[in-house]
Amino acid sequence: MGRFTAFRFTVDPSPLQVVVLARHAGASRFAFNQCLALVKEALDARHRGVPVVVPWSGFDLINAFNSWKCSAAAGRRFVVDAAGSVEVVVTGLAWRARVCQQVCEEAAVDLGRGLSAWAESRRGNRPGRRVGFPTFKRKTRTRPSFRIRCKTTKAGRASIRVGDPTAGPRSVCLPRIGILRVREDTRRLRRMIRTGRAHIRYATVSCRAGRWTITVTVQAVDLHPARQHPPRPDTDSSGWVGVDRGLAALVVAADRTGRQVLRVDDAPRPLRAALPRLRRLSRQVSRKQRGSRNRAEAVARLARAHLRVANVRRYFLHEVANRLVKTHDRLVLEDLHTAGLLRNRRLAAAISDAGWADLARIIGYQQRWRGGHAIAAPRWYPSTKMCSACGTVGPALPLSVRIFRCGECGHAADRDVNAAVNLAVWAEEHVQTRDPEVRGPVINASRGDGSGRRPRAGETSPDDGGTPPPRISVTAGTPEKGGVS
């Protein structure tokens, strides 16, 4: 099994199943908050000088929550007999038998990953922005969601089944929840599971804009060799295609010879198209009384409109990424500082509507699936104002200028094509060879450590197996974001 992929289906639940799904989502949120409360209590006790063990990893948090849910702190009952004597009966969580216990365990694992990410970021060992200390989840601001792992019995029956014969092809069966009807066809996933090319790892159920979805994550084999790019020798540095992302044209791709291989001018721009409707629905929400049923219905209508915008954008980005990945095995994109560009109030809406960061992410993992390469050029590489013919760097070009003209050699070209050519040239000059250890090309650049895969907060690490928490001095209560004690 060489890759992880996910299949998302829209659930068509009955009214009783909606209650069951909401109950499991609430149990996941409750377990996360309770585990965080246990961590904070232990940190406060350590700050007072009490020698206690702080549950830090996912394994330790699961054990701590399992011990707490059966204790008197979780629930107790006072029994008074006829003589007037009172007896305390420990019940623990009264509702713990009504939900799947894996939901609480996965919530504890998520908290453990968040704590590890905060600790690594505080030490400076984690790249990217500083990660804050985990906070409690609120019912009104947290998206209902929970995760269940797939276990296999001794008889070989999986706990999560897709297209069960007793329920029909368009169904997903979850433990303790039962059969959930889905709207999309599951034929492709069922075929992969039946032929042994995929194994279900876990299923994530979430609700957004009143619509429940289930995402089945599977570990699948590599793509067929006919669908993968043929391998290139390590000494071959040609074949790179530069991909320039913009607003007038979403994507312009060209090689170093100046041949334009793809140009996408017909981006749907779903946010701009839906902006009048979003404004009208937002005004309807503001006119409703807070806490009323009418306001809740208006908020649901507005959320459904935003969800449609996101779905249209995601579908189009996948189409563009497929067109690039299927035809070219070496792609180079510019490392755009999207968060900084969004500070421009005149272009923030258009940049958000384009989805530049999502497009780069999709191209990256699809190239890995097909055995290709997708790298990022340095953020300060002057691809737009550099002449692709002579290499002269000119002044910055305003967005209104669509034709690049070199003041030295007189070369004229479309500014997007010129930028794409410069990216392709940079890749051929800086990519040296392929390092099998990092599973990616080694870049002769001044910034970063190459294009190898870097760890993220959501990844499973050896710390989830019961590693003791790090020795970090913290103050009482919740540490401040980015603070140093």
Q: What is the pLDDT of residues 297-352, one digit of tens each?
A: 999 999 999 999 999 999 999 999 999 999 999 999 999 888 888 888 889 999 99
| 445 CB neighbour count, 10 Å cutoff | 18
The Cα–Cα gap between 225 and 370 comes to 9
Q: Is 60 a catalytic residue?
A: no
- Six-digit token string for 49: 């000088």
Helix, strand or coil for residue 298? helix
State the pLDDT at residue 432: 62
pTM of the predicted protein model: 0.81
Q: Which of 228, 250, 160, 159 is nearest to 366 (CA)?
A: 228
Banded model confidence at residue 472, pLDDT cuts 50, 70, 90: very low
Burial string for 194-225 (b: 16+ CB within 10 Å, else e) reads eeeebebebbbbbbebeebbbebbbebeeeee
The Cα–Cα gap between 404 and 62 comes to 60
The Cα–Cα gap between 443 and 373 comes to 12
Mean pLDDT of 425-435: 73
Q: Is 255 a catalytic residue?
A: no
Q: Which of 233, 234, 441 is nearest to 331 (CA)?
A: 441
The Cα–Cα gap between 10 and 472 comes to 44
The Cα–Cα gap between 181 and 175 comes to 14
Helix, strand or coil for residue 67? helix
Q: Percent of the chain beyond pLDDT 70?
A: 89
252 has a pLDDT exceeding 90: yes
Mean pLDDT of 164-180: 90
Instruction: Please identify which of the residues 60, 120, 416, 464 carries the catalytic annotation.
Output: 416
Instruction: Please identify which of the residues 60, 120, 329, 334 carries the catalytic annotation.
Output: 334
State the pLDDT at residue 133: 94
Banded model confidence at residue 254, pLDDT cuts 50, 70, 90: very high
C-alpha dihedral sign at 163, 164, 165, 171: negative
Q: Is 244 a catalytic residue?
A: yes
| Each residue's pLDDT tens digit, 263-285 | 999 899 999 999 999 999 999 99
42 or 237, higher pLDDT: 42
Instruction: Please identify which of the residues 106, 244, 414, 464 carries the catalytic annotation.
Output: 244
